[in-house]
Amino acid sequence: MKRYRVMAAAAILIIFFLLAGNHFIIHTGEAEAAAVEDKGKEGTEYYILLNGRKLMVEDENVWNLIEVGGIYDIAYEWYGNKDPVITSITFPGDEGSH
């Protein structure tokens, strides 16, 4: 009976860590030559819409430079249920990030 309790507890812990572990993994994404559909501001947070997905822009100055309808190469990352945050944005073909 004790063996079953230990195995059940181990199974529960493994399932918990698999589910919780995925929440804390940093995911990355890229969009090449993508057009910005819209941009907006909610309180002090700035964002753009790209392919129907809301991407957060951490720097207001960068947000001001992004044009609706503009074509950009964009890299972003997120974890858990957080909105993706832009980590790099360039014009297609540019080597540097802005």
Residue pLDDT, tens place only, 19-28: 666 667 889 9
- For the domain spanning 27-90, the CATH number is 2.40.50
Q: Which residue has the tokens 């001001």?
A: 64
At residue 96 the predicted structure's pLDDT band, cuts being 50, 70 and 90, is: low
**Greatest pairwise CA separation for the chain in angstroms:** 66
pLDDT of residue 71: 96
- pLDDT tens, 3-24? 888 888 888 888 877 766 666 7
**Domain spans of the chain?**
27-90
Please tell me the distance from the alpha carbon of residue 15 to that of residue 24, in angstroms, as a whole number.
Answer: 15
Please tell me the distance from the alpha carbon of residue 43 to that of residue 6, in angstroms, as a whole number.
Answer: 50
